[in-house]
Amino acid sequence: MPNRAMSIVAYIGSQFRKPTGLGGRLSALVMNRMNQKQYNATEAALELRDGDVVLDIGFGNGYMLRRLARRNNSRFLGIEISDDMLRAALRRNRRAIADGRMTLTHGDVARLDFADGFFDKAYTVNTVYFWSDLDSCLAELHRTLKLGGTFVNTVYTKEFLDSLPFTKRGFAKYSSEELTAASERVGFAVKSVPIASGKAYCLLCVKV
């Protein structure tokens, strides 16, 4: 592939990994359109109840948080490594934040600044490919969930990601078996729910 085309492909990949600037805001809007089926499945899997304390890892422009906060009386927290996405999500969710129902901060899933057993539920959509170390990040999620709490990890399949040119670099593409085994290793009971005729899935991870 010529250099210029290669650098455009690399740029697109980097905007999924850490959306930044105008390109980042546009990629986040593309993701919002592309990922509707994943959002629907994640919401269904979470089974939110009044008063649940819920964490979103890598919330991007905060689209999913706003959707959930409009429909549920839960308390939402979120962490995100991109400052530009944090700003966009703060704007999009200003009402829930002003009402004291949502707190969004800069943060990395590798080091969750929350007490053991703090959350009832946690979820993430399309971020696991960018985690620095799968096992230790899953262990952090397990630590911060209550016993019986659920972590919904929503991803595209390795096969689908392999078909996209921009995922060749900077994406850790796990098979569903690898992701399931890693989640079980840190103490989750795991069930897989297919999405979009098997192009994506939610791993429902319950802390046991």
Ligand X SMILES: C[S@@+](CC[C@H](N)C(=O)[O-])C[C@H]1O[C@@H](n2cnc3c(N)ncnc32)[C@H](O)[C@@H]1O
131/188 with CB nearer ligand X: 131
Looking at 45, 46, 55, 57, which residue binds ligand X (CB under 6 A)? 57
Determine if 62 is a binding residue for ligand X (CB under 6 A).
no
Determine if 200 is a binding residue for ligand X (CB under 6 A).
no
Give the integer Cα–Cα distance in Å for 124 and 141: 11
The answer to whether the CB of 140 falls within 8 A of the CB of 79 is no
Determine if 78 is a binding residue for ligand X (CB under 6 A).
no
109/134 with CB nearer ligand X: 109
Report in angstroms the alpha-carbon separations of 86 from 157, 192, 207.
Answer: 27, 30, 28
Determine if 72 is a binding residue for ligand X (CB under 6 A).
no
Task: Give residue 9's region: left, alpha or beta (phi > 0; psi -120 to 50).
Answer: alpha
Q: Do the bridges between strand 145-156 and strand 200-207 make them parallel or antiparallel, or are there none, so unpaired?
A: antiparallel
Using alpha carbons, select from 190, 207, 79, 195 the residue that is nearest to residue 143: 207
Give the integer Cα–Cα distance in Å for 25 and 202: 25
Of 91-99, 119-127, 172-180, 196-204, which segment contacts ligand X by CB under 6 A? 119-127
Determine if 118 is a binding residue for ligand X (CB under 6 A).
no
Looking at 55, 65, 81, 138, which residue binds ligand X (CB under 6 A)? 81
Determine if 134 is a binding residue for ligand X (CB under 6 A).
no
Of 68-76, 91-99, 103-111, 141-149, which segment contacts ligand X by CB under 6 A? 103-111
Q: Do the bridges between strand 145-156 and strand 119-125 make them parallel or antiparallel, or are there none, so unpaired?
A: parallel
Nearest distance from C-beta of residue 2 to ligand X, angstroms:
26
Looking at 72, 74, 82, 144, which residue binds ligand X (CB under 6 A)? 82
Looking at 13, 31, 112, 153, which residue binds ligand X (CB under 6 A)? 31
Interacting residue ranges for ligand X, rule: CB under 6 A = 16-19, 31-32, 35, 57-60, 63, 79-82, 85, 108-110, 125-127, 130-131
